[in-house]
Amino acid sequence: MKYKVLKMEGRAKRAHMETVHGSIETPVFMNVGTVAAIKGAVSTADLETIGTQVELSNTYHLHVRPGDEVVKKLGGLHKFMSWNRPILTDSGGFQVFSLADLRKIKEEGVEFRSHIDGRKIVMGPEESMQIQSNRASTIAMAFDECPSSLAERSYVKASVDRTTRWLERCRKKMNELNSREDTINREQLLFGINQGAIFEDIRIDHAKRISDMDMDGYAIGGLAVGETHEEMYHILDETVPYLPTEKPVYLMGVGTPANILEGVERGVDFFDCVYPSRNGRHGHVYTNHGKLNLLNAKYELDERPIEEGCGCPACQRYSRAYIRHLLKAKEMLGLRLCVLHNLYFYNKMMEEIRDALDAGDFAGYKKRKLEGLELTN
Amino acid sequence: MKYKVLKMEGRAKRAHMETVHGSIETPVFMNVGTVAAIKGAVSTADLETIGTQVELSNTYHLHVRPGDEVVKKLGGLHKFMSWNRPILTDSGGFQVFSLADLRKIKEEGVEFRSHIDGRKIVMGPEESMQIQSNRASTIAMAFDECPSSLAERSYVKASVDRTTRWLERCRKKMNELNSREDTINREQLLFGINQGAIFEDIRIDHAKRISDMDMDGYAIGGLAVGETHEEMYHILDETVPYLPTEKPVYLMGVGTPANILEGVERGVDFFDCVYPSRNGRHGHVYTNHGKLNLLNAKYELDERPIEEGCGCPACQRYSRAYIRHLLKAKEMLGLRLCVLHNLYFYNKMMEEIRDALDAGDFAGYKKRKLEGLELTN
């Protein structure tokens, strides 16, 4: 893996990364494919059309079904999904903590019941690394606990200490897996995850400790889970400076276009979020003049595309009136066109951000973009 | 409109038709788009990819929502859906008789309540022509009654007589609409519909009467609604000879690949059916070696495409194992890929039929195709 910062503007970074599955230009927005498919009938062929650089696959969902050993037998996620660009897999931790029933957290890992069939599953650092190795993603994420932003300081402190011990175990297991002959991707990367809820000192101390461990990259986890945007920006201001500039930084699960602009300004390279696909499935679409709700009656006779000049497959061919009709008639095609538009909008915004950084005008771009986005949003 | 029979083999016809929206090579299978979209998140861009010649739009569904006047204001169905090849609209009659509540049949037309909002709607020949003219389809269908195949002879006789009177009214109204300045498609074609349940003499008498009316084409309606395949083939054997050879013949709502082969042999040009899309949405896919149920556990690790050598967007890129996984996880993409495959399979079969007719080997082709299809089906 090679990661090279090409340009900086304040703390904002414009970087180029090379992986075994091709290069990534950052800042980048990863498109989320929960069960090895983007919700909304979007295929990997579609992702190529809308400019997706990195696909994100959730470990928990795919572990429960079809099972990671099935995916390994089928040659890993890239072959399974027919996608030859980078894939990042999460560790499964976040979903275990948010979706699974009856979970018990122990030093070894987490014991929980599948949300599909109730079967008992134990997942700890070693299991998560094994699963992600079976998937053969480009980037694996460390197995961590994501404590609630409302948790007590003493709980968060103990949790973060355990997450650090888990990171050591993740690294050891990943090194072992990457040295095995029968591992599909023996150059799998591992990113560590910074936690600490909204306690700056715990965040900073943890950032220092994991920075010393020389991981392939670092994520900020446990944000966008209930705290205010200002608290999130404050934590980024305090924490990112303690992560190495020469490594990629990933802000997990974030966010709105405005959140992303603020994150880039604070030194973040990687983002992911379900908003564009989830909003699309509800007929809410992004434009540079604010968000539109296509179910609104005023679009019934609107022959314009969602956004004039947009190069997405929906805007290239279909009108607001037609997409509104499809949504009202509950035709899947309506959801699909909205999701394609929104993902394209996010991907295109990241390209604009990179261009602005290249041109040394990120500050100006950010100001103009936010003015447009805030018109209705 | 020009319709030219290029070749015949027995009663089977290979023809070329020219319309204001481009040419149609027959025999042809029309792809059904109930509410101006093919179910399964399939777009008109997809239809171009899978070789669709004619799209079929249902009048009843689009009349109830968004309303044909909305479609007219938006420039007609072609512009609304972004589809520049031929479109056939049905008359709305079949859906009125099968879906609507509380219907009353009178000489003027049918009175019924919308299945969406319960509002009272009256539809007769004039209303149906007006709606289809507002849609500006390439081919409009006459407004008819489709009596049950179990109906009494006396009921069927009276119904068919009324359908003939309705056809006269349809023709008069269509001529008037096509002469208006503000009509979008002033070259809209009108096909008459033969009815008569499974009473050969009523069918033949009706075929003669409507043939005398010199319509642009003729459909056989009221089949594939409960009678056996043998009864259907018998009615085709008896009736098609009384329809003009130099006009296109359309067998409505039919059917399985085997039904289509039998229909072509009996002189049918046009077919439509929901089977390929409906089966696709249930994970049932067609191959030349029988139908597969992709939900079957035996496909869990099957890396082959649905059918080796198939040129559809699903088979070009995705495995049975992946599509099965998507179906199990209830991801819309799974349905979409199955629907795309099935429509491609039907469209491709029609192309093979045309090639076989061109080569004078339809009988041989039909025999070989049926042997393959019947392996599991």
CB contact under 8 A, A61 and B333: no
Question: Does any CB of chain B come closer than 8 Å to the CB of residue A70?
Answer: yes
* Nearest 10 degrees: Cα torsion B61, B66, B72, B73: 180
Other CB atoms closer than 10 Å to residue A300's CB: what's the count? 16
pLDDT at A93: 79
Measured between alpha carbons, how far is B77 from B84 in angstroms, rounded to an integer?
10
CB contact under 8 A, A319 and B66: no
Please tell me which of the candidates A73, A301, A332 has its beta carbon nearest to residue B301.
Answer: A73
Give whole-number Cα distances, B101 to A125, B75, B87, B98, B155, in Å: 60, 31, 28, 9, 20
Per-residue pLDDT of chain A (377 residues; tens, 9 = 90+): 799 999 999 999 999 999 999 999 999 999 977 666 667 788 999 999 999 999 999 877 666 667 889 999 999 999 999 999 999 999 987 777 776 666 788 999 988 887 777 788 888 999 999 999 999 999 999 999 988 888 899 999 999 999 999 999 999 999 999 999 999 999 999 999 999 999 999 999 999 999 999 999 999 999 988 889 999 999 999 999 999 999 999 999 999 999 999 999 999 999 999 999 999 999 999 999 999 999 999 999 999 999 999 999 999 999 999 999 999 988 899 999 999 999 999 999 999 999 999 999 999 999 999 998 876 54
Question: Does any CB of chain B come closer than 8 Å to the CB of residue A136?
Answer: no
Please tell me which of the candidates A66, A322, A331 has its beta carbon nearest to residue B80.
Answer: A322
State the burial class of residue A106 (Cβ atoms within 10 Å of its Cβ: 0-12, 13-18, 19+): exposed
Question: Does any CB of chain B come closer than 8 Å to the CB of residue A300?
Answer: yes
CB contact under 8 A, B319 and A37: no
Using alpha carbons, select from B16, B114, B11, B7 the residue that is nearest to residue B62.
B114
Measured between alpha carbons, how far is A135 from A345 in angstroms, rounded to an integer?
29
Q: Are B82 and A317 in contact (CB under 8 A)?
A: yes
Grade residue B376 by pLDDT with cuts at 50, 70 and 90. low
- Provide φ and ψ at A366, rounded to 5°: -60, -45
Q: What is the pTM of this model?
A: 0.94
CB contact residues (below 8 A), chain B span 142-201, against chain A: none
Q: Which tokens is B220 given?
A: 């056989």
Please give the order of strands across the beta sheet that includes B2-9. B2-9, B12-19, B22-26
Catalytic (active site) residue A272? yes
* Chain B nearest CA to A181, separation (Å): 22
- Provide φ and ψ at B99, rounded to 5°: -110, -35
Catalytic (active site) residue B272? yes
Question: Does any CB of chain A come closer than 8 Å to the CB of residue B295?
Answer: no
Give whole-number Cα distances, A309 to A245, A302, A316, A324, in Å: 36, 16, 8, 19
pLDDT at B266: 98
Tens digit of each residue's pLDDT (9 = 90 or more) over B324-347: 999 998 889 999 999 999 999 999
Using alpha carbons, select from B331, B258, B319, B257 the residue that is nearest to residue B294.
B319
| Catalytic residue selected from B68, B90, B144, B269 | B90
Q: Which tokens is B33 given?
A: 């788009």
* Chain A nearest CA to B40, separation (Å): 6
Strand runs (DSSP E) across A264-345, as ranges?
270-272, 284-285, 292-293
Question: Chains A and B: how many Cβ contacts under 8 Å?
Answer: 123
Residue found by looking up tokens 């499974």 in the block? B198
Of the residues A39, A298, A331, the best mutation for testing chain B's interface (the one with the most B CB atoms within 10 Å of its CB) is A331
Rg over alpha carbons for chain A, rounded to the nearest Å, is 20
Q: What is the mean pLDDT of chain B?
A: 93
Question: Does any CB of chain B come closer than 8 Å to the CB of residue A337?
Answer: yes
Residue positions counted in chain A: 377
B36 pLDDT more than 80: no
Tens digit of each residue's pLDDT (9 = 90 or more) over A233-255: 999 999 999 999 999 999 999 99
- Provide φ and ψ at A24, rounded to 5°: -130, 125
Of the residues A135, A325, A327, A335, the best mutation for testing chain B's interface (the one with the most B CB atoms within 10 Å of its CB) is A325
CB contact under 8 A, B328 and A301: no
Measured between alpha carbons, how far is A136 from A255 in angstroms, rounded to an integer?
26
Chain B residues within 8 A of A319 when measuring between CB atoms: 74, 80
Q: B217 forms bridges with which residues in the sheet?
A: B191
CB contact under 8 A, B35 and A335: no
Using alpha carbons, select from A84, A164, A166, A99 the residue that is nearest to residue A129.
A166
Using alpha carbons, select from B36, B91, B37 the residue that is nearest to residue B62.
B36
